[in-house]
Each structure stands twice: as structure tokens, then as C-alpha cells.
Amino acid sequence: MTFQQIFNHPPETQASASGRVNLLGEHTDYNDGFVLPTAIPQQTTVQLGFSNDGQHQFYSENLQERVNILDIHHSPSGFASYIFGCIEVLKQSGYTIPSLNVYVQSSVPIGSGLSSSAALEVATIRAIRQLLNLPINDVEIAQIAQQAEIHYAGVQCGIMDQMACSLADTQHILFLDTRTLERRLLPLPEQTSIVVIDSGVPRTLASSGYNQRRAECQEAAKLLVVNALRDITDEKVTETLPEPLNRRARHVVTENNRVLEVLQGVEPEHFGELMNASHASLRDDYEVSVPALDTLVEILQKTPGIFGARLTGAGFGGACVALVALGKEKAATQALEQYCHAGYQGKILVPS
Ligand code: GLA
């Protein structure tokens, strides 16, 4: 069904935003640290028009679901919560937002850790900016989107996903300092391609586990008397903390240092080693991996032609990212076959 068929009038405007895959720098953003995401080719598109019956109406083409917002004091759930959240945060920022008809279509895989929610938020705010000519820049779009996610979707997320969906492209890596929002576009590792494979295991416990990790990091920073774990650069300092805060903090410190190493310029082989080390740290110190992700990553790491692999996104299920030598993309297919033989149902998401 099209916008026209759903709402009986054509859209006034539309905007899109890409999903993202994070190459390195996981669970560092809410510790004021460093991240290295890149955009994926899959996008979410939001079409907008004015609603003349005084209610917001949202339609998801993927879910074939229509939501009418009858009571603006009651936040909806599911895909509608992200759109509603963006509208509410824009209003709280002082903008007058009329009742809208919103149509969403997305090719960003949902629930795989590729930021389908941030892509929806950024596309929604971009479309509203266009429709109403709002004086909002791309960084502000990311900040509004993050507030929508925190307050209306209930995930105490950092700013990486929304910044990546708003500012990254598929040709570069976006280096972002999440404290200062200073950023730089870096070239992708030479002669490589990025492959993303879904483990087939949904991200259960993602939001509760995520919020718990965030609280643990805050506690660790408090005990070390710093504003955020970003302020610790020597992993030895974390040894004074009680279990498991010592390991949580060690992950953040070593992960930030891995990102900073990439910033100095590294060969693809070393980039791959850093990705492998990141996975080990997420598995052992941060404890956000699951057996399926460990199995997939282990197979990928052992496959010739693959420089490195790790879980990507929040963890607890979802996808892995691998850095593959250009021309050796078949290696990822072979690894996937092996993974499926082990009884799992994986799928290559990028390249699509
Ligand atoms: C989710 C959050 C991000 C970030 C990652 C983990 O994607 O939305 O802010 O914390 O997890 O790196």
C-alpha cells in the first residue's frame, strides 16, 4: 500500500536515513568514549503529509500496521513510539508540530543491531525539518533522535547510532568523540569489504542488559572519581574496582584505546586483530555476547580471507561484522554455511 492509498492524499515530502554498522568502539558511547561506525546501504524512508482530523496517524509498510494517536498523553508502543517520541521531543524543543500523516518503509533489518530505530528517528526528523522548514542541523537531529529513544523507547542509549544515521556515509568510517561530538571521516580499510551477518538469534534482554551495563559503568566511574570511564586511559587503574565493575571498566578502557589506535592509521590485518580483540573483550569482560555470536565470530575469524570479526551493536544476539579482503567475499558465504551446519540460521545482511 502507498501513502496515497492509506491516507487518500499524496505525501508533501519525504526523507531517508541509513542504518549503521559499528566497526569498533562498542559500549563506549555512553562512557563519553570513541566509536567507528559506517553507514550501511539499507535505508528507512519516511513520507509525510498534514493530517486534517487533528490526530497523528502512522503507517508502517513493513508491518502493515496503522496507528492512530488518539491520546497524545499516552505514548504508543512499537514503531509508532519512535515517531511519536521525535514529535514530542521537537515540541519540547519549542517547535509547533501540526497533526501528521506518517508513512514508513524500511529495508534496514530490524532487531539485528543495525540501528533500525535510529534510522527511523533520523528519517522522521529530517522529513519534519523539510516539511516545516525547521532550523535544525544534522547534529541537532541526532540529539533530538537520541532523546526520543531514551524517553519514548526506554533505552538509555548513547549518541552513536543517531549520529551515525545522521552523519555517516557508506564510503567512510565516521570517527566520533562522543564527549565533544568532534568527528572525522576516515577512509575504509584499503582493499577490504565489510560484511554483516545476522546470527539469527534475536536480541533478547537487550534493553534490560544494556541499561544494567550502563549503570555498572556509572558506578565504576563514581568509584574511580572520574566523570566518565573515558577519563581512564590506563587499564591497570580498573584493577582496583570490585567484580564485575573491574571487567566492565577494562572493556571500556581497552576498547577506547583500540579505536584510538585505528585513528593513527593501521593496515587491514591489524584492524582485523583489533576487531577480534574487541569481540573477546565484549564476550569475557563486558559479557554481552551469546553462544551463537561466539560461534559465528569464531568461524569467521578462522576463515582465510577474513581479517577479523566481532559482534556489532549492543550484543545479546543480533549481527556480527567482518572485515574481508577485497575479492574474497566468498569466504563470508563459506563461514555462514559452516555456521548453519552447526544448527543456526544465519543470513548475510550486508552486502544486501
Ligand atoms: C546500542 C546503543 C548505542 C551503543 C551501542 C553499543 O546500539 O543505541 O548507543 O551504546 O548499543 O555500542
Portion of the chain with pLDDT greater than 90, in percent = 91
Say whether pLDDT at 227 is over 90: yes
Of the listed 161, 177, 198, 285, which one is catalytic? 161
Q: d(Cα 45, Cα 107) in Å, to the nearest integer?
A: 9
Per-residue pLDDT band at 290 (split at 50, 70, 90): very high
What mean pLDDT is reported for the chain?
Answer: 96
Model pTM score: 0.96
Q: Is the CB of 26 under 6 A from ligand 1?
A: yes
Mean pLDDT of 73-93: 93
Per-residue pLDDT band at 201 (split at 50, 70, 90): very high
pLDDT value of residue 71: 73
Q: Is the CB of 157 under 6 A from ligand 1?
A: yes
Other Cβ atoms within 10 Å of 316 Cβ, number: 22
Mean pLDDT of 187-212: 89
User: Residue of the nearest CA to atom 2 in ligand 1?
Assistant: 157
User: Residue of the nearest CA to atom 8 in ligand 1?
Assistant: 157
Question: Would residue 161 show up in a list of annotated catalytic residues for this protein?
Answer: yes
Say whether pLDDT at 212 is over 80: yes
- Measured in Å, residue 69 CA sits from the centre of ligand 1 at 28
Helix runs in the chain, H state only:
3-7, 79-92, 116-132, 138-148, 160-167, 206-223, 245-263, 268-284, 291-302, 330-341
Which domains are delineated in the chain?
A: 3-187 (3.30.230.10), 192-350 (3.30.70.890)
Say whether pLDDT at 169 is over 70: yes
Say whether pLDDT at 238 is over 80: yes
